[in-house]
Amino acid sequence: MLYAFRYLTYLLKAKDEHSLHSPFLFDLYENIIDSFAEYYKYKGIEAVREEMLLSDKIIEVTDLGAGSRISKSNTRKVSSIAKHAVKQDKYGKLLFRLVNHFKPKIILELGTSLGITTCYLATTHSENKVITFEGCPNISSIAKNNFKKLELKNITQIEGDFDEKLPNELAKLDSVDFVYIDGNHRKKATLAYFRQILSKSHNDTILIFDDIHWSTGMEEAWEDVKSSKEVSITIDLFYLGIVFLRKEQVKQDFVLKF
Ligand SMILES: C[S@@+](CC[C@H](N)C(=O)[O-])C[C@H]1O[C@@H](n2cnc3c(N)ncnc32)[C@H](O)[C@@H]1O
């Protein structure tokens, strides 16, 4: 009920390109966010999703995050994970377009799940490197198989708790260019990941937060991110929040139709 109310509030607030005066934002909205461009690479990824949706496999899951609203059981159907945990194609395609446009070299994803969105992040060009983190070994192994099917060789899988693995992996990197945070939707954890990632970010690093309206805690985390001094532009698309650090932009928060 509360979630539906939050969505209604978003719909009432959301604007289109006419509210954007900066050329950077106007171009971003017109050509990337609100784009219907289709890329041939989508086909293979969606075929893998279809296969996952039709799978009758049941696996044991290790949940290190905020849990699922759909199932509290420690066994789950792969088809149910594909239906409820994996981001819809609309969002995977948006991430693809962002990566295709900004060409980040080092991409992090917190929350691999079955690897469908990881494929969208990794498939634009093979020169980028995607490091994806997942706490459940059984889920991670299905993702590994999916990457093989699409012959994606630029993905490194890290298995284990984000709390432990993220600092280790960040310590090995000079900087990160693009980060998609889609796991452990808790306020404290989300803000802790944000702070750690900021320490390896640069002016053009882009951060994407998933499910920014999922709970009161996630909405509070999103407010904290928006008000951080390092952040200039934020874009609320309801299911995703996009964050830019670009110092040349005037600090501003947008709610845009998607
Ligand atoms: C919503 S799913 C990710 C969906 C995926 N990004 C996609 O769109 O295809 C979140 C994943 O994060 C993992 N996860 C949650 N909290 C975690 C933690 N603290 N450490 C490691 N993995 C975690 C869960 O096991 C789950 O598979």
pLDDT in tens, 143-199: 999 999 999 999 999 999 999 999 999 999 999 999 999 999 999 999 999 999 999
Chain length of the chain: 258
Assess whether the C-beta atom of 182 lies below 6 angstroms from ligand 1: yes
Asked whether the beta carbons of 98 and 129 are under 8 A apart, the reply is no
* Percent over 90 (pLDDT), the chain: 91
Residue 66 has pLDDT above 80, yes or no: no
pTM of the predicted structure, to 2 decimals: 0.95
Condensed to tens digits (0 to 9), the pLDDT of residues 206-236 reads: 999 999 999 999 999 999 999 999 999 999 9
Please enumerate in sequence order all residues whose Cβ is within 8 A of that of 161, keeping only pairs 6 or more positions apart, or say none. Answer: 64, 135
CA of 22 to the centre of ligand 1 (A): 35
Q: What is the pLDDT of residue 126?
A: 82
Assess whether the C-beta atom of 85 lies below 6 angstroms from ligand 1: yes
Q: What is the pLDDT of residue 72?
A: 62
| Average pLDDT across the chain, whole number | 95
Assess whether the C-beta atom of 86 lies below 6 angstroms from ligand 1: yes
| Ligand 1 atom closest to 189 (CA) | 19
Q: What is the pLDDT of residue 85?
A: 93
Residue 71 has pLDDT above 90, yes or no: no
Mean pLDDT of 48-73: 85
CA of 65 to the centre of ligand 1 (A): 7
The full DSSP string for the chain is -HHHHHHHHHHHH-B-GGG--SHHHHHHIIIIIT-----THHHHHHHHHHHHHH---EEE----SS--SS--SSEEEHHHHHHHTSPPHHHHHHHHHHHHHH--SEEEEE--TTSHHHHHHHSS-TTSEEEEEES-HHHHHHHHHHHHHTT--SEEEEES-HHHHHHHHHHH-S--SEEEE-S---HHHHHHHHHHHHTT--TT-EEEEE-TTSSHHHHHHHHHHHH-TT--EEEE-SSEEEEE--TTSPPEEEEB--
pLDDT band at 63 (very low <50, low <70, confident <90, very high): confident
pLDDT band at 136 (very low <50, low <70, confident <90, very high): very high
Distance CA 200, CA 196 (A): 7
Q: What is the pLDDT of residue 70?
A: 57
Q: What is the pLDDT of residue 83?
A: 97
Residue 69 has pLDDT above 60, yes or no: no
Assess whether the C-beta atom of 183 lies below 6 angstroms from ligand 1: yes
Domains and CATH numbers, the chain: 2-44+87-255 (3.40.50.150)
Helix axes 187-198, 162-172, angle to 10 degrees: 10
Assess whether the C-beta atom of 161 lies below 6 angstroms from ligand 1: yes
Q: What is the pLDDT of residue 65?
A: 76
Residue ID of nearest Cα to ligand 1 atom 11: 111
